[in-house]
Structures are given as C-alpha cells and as structure tokens.
A and B are shown apart, each in its own frame.
Chain A
Amino acid sequence: MNSFAAALWAETLKARRSSTPLLTAIGFMLAPLTAGLFMIIMKDPERARDMGLLSTKAQLAMTTAEWGTFLGMLTQAVAIGGLILFSIVTSWVFGREFSDRTAKDLMALPTSRETIVSAKLVVVSVWSFAATIFIYVLALLIGNLVDIPGWTVALAAQTFRDVLATAGMLLLLMTPVAFIASLGRGYLPPLGWAVLTIFLSQIIAALGWGDWFPWSVPALFSGVIGPRSAQLGMHSYVVIFLTGLVGLAATYGYWRTADQTK
C-alpha cells in the first residue's frame, strides 16, 4: 500500500466512524424535504390549509407546482446550504486534528504531510459530492411521491449537471476553509469564516458585485435571484478557481512549514 492509499484509508476510516457524515446528510435532506413540502402546498393550497400546513392569512409566492420549480429550489438549496454543510465537513476533517490534538501524530511520519492533506481533500470532495447526489436522488423520489407535474428526463439531467456544478464551485471554496481550520487549529474559526462569507455574499450580490465575489457566484449560478444571472461571466468562474487555488496553496504551505505546537 503506497503512502497516499494509506492516508486515504485512514481518512476514510475516521469519516466512516464519525457521526458527522450522518448529521450532514440529515441536514442536507432538509432541502428536498422542504422543497417537497412546498410542492404539496402549491399543488393544493386549500387542502394544505385544511391540514394546517398553511395559515389562512398566508400568501404563496407566485410559483407553480412543477418539476422545474421543484428542481430549481433544490439547486438553490445546494448553493446556500452546501456552503454551510461543506464547510462543516471541511472543518471537521481538518479542524478535528487540532481539537483532538492528533495533528502532532501526523508529523514526523514517512507519509508526507502533503499526502495527508491530499487524502483529506479527497475525503471532503467525495463526502460533499456523495451528499449532493444523495439529496438529488432523494428529491427525485419525493417529487415522484408528491406527483409533481412536468417531469422530463432532459430537465432532470440538466438539474443534475447544475447541482454538480454548484457543488463543484462550492468545493473550490472549501480550500480556504481547510486553511482556516488549520491556521485556527479547530472547528470554530472555519465555521465563523463560513458564516461571514455567506453574510458577505448576500450583501455583495445585493450591491451588484456578486459576479466578482467568489462566495456569491454559486448562488447566482443556481438562480437564487431569478434565472441564471446574466451577470455571471468567465471572470466569475476564474475568480472561484483562483480562490480555490490560493486556498489550496495556503493549506499545503501551512501544513508543510508552520510550527505545530498543539
């Protein structure tokens, strides 16, 4: 077994034995479940009122119960919820080594620190994509159960591509989270960072500069402010890519050279 395979085995074992994957999956499930509930309500508001799902005074948004709306909601939920959930995953994978004081045991090994960081990033990626695919499949099941009209295979395939692309963009934004978890030596600093970036992404998008701000781009891509924003251009994707690259370099650089006193 080469050193990367050994590191990947170790990281996978830690993830499998942890309750964090289950909790993040449950958290992510809220997206299709909530979207499904909206579909039930929008399909038959009168019945929803009778069931107590809708207040008599409540007004529904100007949307219709159809697959396009449902899957659009899912993509948006991945863009917003994914930023939080992927950050939790990344914070756990990197920050736990400092919180549990095991980082020192990952030094002075024949398996290099870069190899260990790479294995951690692979686990974060697989974990995040698996959670995304899981909720996509769950959404399809819920949509069928609710019997939403307007199903087409082309729509489902397009949504799948959009959801994966959104998840991919979010993953690029996780490298700064990995760096901050390492630099801050625990869970809290990266989670604070995640909250800050979500907050800033809203404000900057509202100011009209979202296409230049990497943390706003996934939400704009998913159609949070309407159909995919015309603001987005190649520069938006380049900015995300560069952010991912800088985060990656910072994380590897930190693990390679920073003093490990904890």
Chain B
Amino acid sequence: MSYAIETDHVSKSFGSVQAVDDVSLRVDRGEIYGFLGLNGAGKTTTIRMLLGMIRPSAGNVKVLGQVVGPYGRGPWAQVGHLVESPSCYPELTVRENLEIGRRYHGVKNPNATDEIIEQLVLSAYAGRKAGTLSLGNLQRLGLARALLHQPELIILDEPANGLDPAGIVEIRKLLASLAHERGATIFMSSHILTEVDKLADRIGIVHKGQLIEELDADRLEEIRSLQLSIRTQDLAKAQEVLVSNQYTTATIQDSRLVVKDKQAVESPELIATLLVQAGMPPTHLAVEQENLEEYFLRLTKVNGGQS
C-alpha cells in the first residue's frame, strides 16, 4: 500500500530564498507525524506543497498514492487541511461557512455540518457571524472545516494556535481518537515541541528548509541527554568552583546551574561534596532529562546555528 504522504527530494525557492531544501519524507497510513521547526523553518511551505498550493521547484509530492499537481482532481476528497491562520467568510455564519465546505467536498449527509459543529463544541456559535469569533473559536471553525468530510488524511499547520489550554487538550484528544479509532493519518506542524511530543508517533525536525532529523517519538525520550541541575545561593561562584574542578560544561541557565559532564550525572554526590566544601551547599540537586526545547536548540545549533 502506498504512503499517506511521500515527498521525493522536494525543494522550493522564492527568488534567492531557499524555503525548502531537498526534503524527502514518508508518512505511513494511520500515523501521526509531527513536523517540527522554528518559525520560518519551511513548515508551511512544505505543507502548501503537499496540498498542491505551491509547485515545488524540484522533486515530487505524492498524497495518498497520487501525484500532486495542478491538473486533475487529486486525492482531495480524502484530505482535510488547515493551513496557517484560520480564515473564514466573515459575513457568513459559522454554520454557513461549514456548509460551504460540506458542499465543496461533496458530502451527501446533510447532518454532517451539525455533527461537526457539535464535535468541535461550536454549537453556541453556529448562528453567529464568523467575523465575530475569537481566535480560538476561529481555529475550531478551521478544524471543523478540515474534519467535516471525515478525511483519511488530515494536514494541520499549527493546529493549537489561538486555543486556550483546555482547548488544546480537547483538540489533542480529538486528533488522537481520529487516528487511533478511525485510522486517520495526521500530519501536523508545530513549533511547540511539547505539543507534538504528546501526540505524534513520529517526528520530523525541519530547520532552514532541511529535514535534519526524523525519529520515533519513543526514541526522542531516549536520546535527550541527562544533565545535573543545581541551585545554590551563589551560582556564579559555584560555577567557578566546578569549572576549576574540570566540570567544564557547567553553565548558568534559568537561575540554576546545569552540568552535563558524564561524571557529574553519574556521581552527583561528588558535586554536592565539592560545593559543600566551597561553602555553597546546594539547595537543589537533581539529575534531569534535557527538555525538548533544549534538545531542539542543540540539534538546530549543530545543523547551522540559530535561525
């Protein structure tokens, strides 16, 4: 069976700007794929190429086994999408906006609109003009339009944008249930690592237009490095003490001292002893796993520095 998404050495440049550079990725059917990258990394351009909105400068894109291009109707009856910020016809009601989507997708079930309104908790706003919606509800409307025809593949660009924390959890649950219960494939981009980490089966990291890493979500847990986190009264002095004792990785980050030397992680009691002897007993000493942001920044730094 073909992949849900398959890109083969896809590139896109706008004048002298290389937005996407030789990206080859494959997303299996039924998979939740997180597409991570900083703002301007090339996520939205890649998504637009997947949806045939932008023609690649080089390479090919296949969606649900069909080559994406300007000719033919493509696989779009089975694809739902939300690209960038949600948009709507402001003079139409929420229901009318969705009704347009239903008809464009050729959905015969006349109740589909009401069903998705209920599912996305938009009932209270169904008769309201879309132009009056808050950003969060506009995002729900965009998601509703992407999901109302029960697509086999859902492509979402920053789906958590504008949602409050409860809304984020709710949408996460909805997407997880679509993938796990209905077997839908989800391709979602985000610059929020924790969000992708909680949902994705596999993660692709894009930086400066290039896919620099692709890994299973479980593997991400394993490869994030361990570090010793220390709090004491005088962080600068403590850092001096540790560096003079060959713990050269000691750095101050967010009002704490972080040491990544293998010996420090494996034998934190040695560090505690050193600090006590120097008259700066630690008030907090813990071996922690590098957080996702740190891992991400480390990875992107290795691959060409900050963007």
> Which A residues form the contact surface with B (CB < 8 A)?
1, 3, 6-7, 9-10, 13-14, 17-19, 100-102, 104-112, 256-257, 259-261
Contacts and interface: CB of A to CB of B under 8 A. Distances in A.
Nearest to B131: A100
Contact of B103 (A9, A256, A257, A261): A9
A3 B104 CA distance: 7
A22 to B, nearest CB: 12
Given A10-B103, A260-B54, A261-B54, A104 B87 contact: yes
Contact of B106 (A106, A111, A257, A260): A111
Contacts of B96: 13, 17
Q: Which of A10, A14, A104, A105 has the most CB of B within 10 A?
A: A105
Given A17-B91, A18-B91, A100-B89, A108 B103 contact: no
Contacts of A19: 91
A253 to B, nearest CB: 10
Given A6-B104, A259-B54, A108 B90 contact: no
Contacts of A261: 48, 53-54
Contact of B51 (A7, A9, A100, A108): A108
Interface stretch (B69-77, B218-226, B293-301): B69-77
A100 B53 contact: no
Contact of B104 (A18, A109, A256): A109
Contacts of B116: none
B104 A107 contact: no
B81 interface: yes
Nearest to A101: B87
Interface residues of B, number: 31
A20 B83 CA distance: 28
Contact of A13 (B48, B84, B90, B92): B92
Contact of B81 (A6, A100, A108): A108
Interface string B141-159: 0000100000000000000
Given A6-B103, A104-B53, A259-B54, A110 B73 contact: yes
A117 B77 CA distance: 19
A246 to B, nearest CB: 20
Contacts of A257: 55, 70
B278 interface: no
Contact of A109 (B76, B89, B92): B76
Contacts of A105: 87, 101, 145
Describe B's contact surface by its main secondary structure: loop
B5 interface: no
B46 to A, nearest CB: 13
Interface string B26-66: 00000000000000000000001001111100000000000
B100 interface: yes
A255 to B, nearest CB: 9
Contacts of B54: 259-261
Considering the complex of A and B, which 6 residue pairs feature the smallest CB-CB distances, nearest first?
Answer: A6-B103, A110-B77, A101-B87, A108-B51, A260-B53, A10-B100
Contact of A1 (B52, B81, B103): B103
A126 B215 CA distance: 55
B128 interface: no
Contacts of A7: 104
B87 A102 contact: yes
A102 B53 contact: no
Contacts of B85: 101
A101 B53 CA distance: 13
8 contacts: A10-B104, A105-B145, A108-B51, A108-B52, A108-B79, A109-B105, A257-B70, A260-B48
B241 interface: no
B88 interface: yes
Given A110-B77, A259-B53, A102 B88 contact: yes
A108 B55 contact: no
A110 B106 contact: yes
Nearest to A5: B103
A153 B6 CA distance: 68
Q: Which of A1, A106, A109, A259 has the most CB of B within 10 A?
A: A109
Contacts of A100: 87-90
A6 B145 CA distance: 16
B89 A14 contact: yes
Interface string B83-125: 1110111111000100011011110000000000000000000
A256 B51 CA distance: 13
A259 B90 contact: no
Contacts of A13: 92, 96, 100
Contacts of B77: 110
A100 B100 CA distance: 15
A256 B90 CA distance: 26
Contacts of B106: 1, 3, 6, 110-111
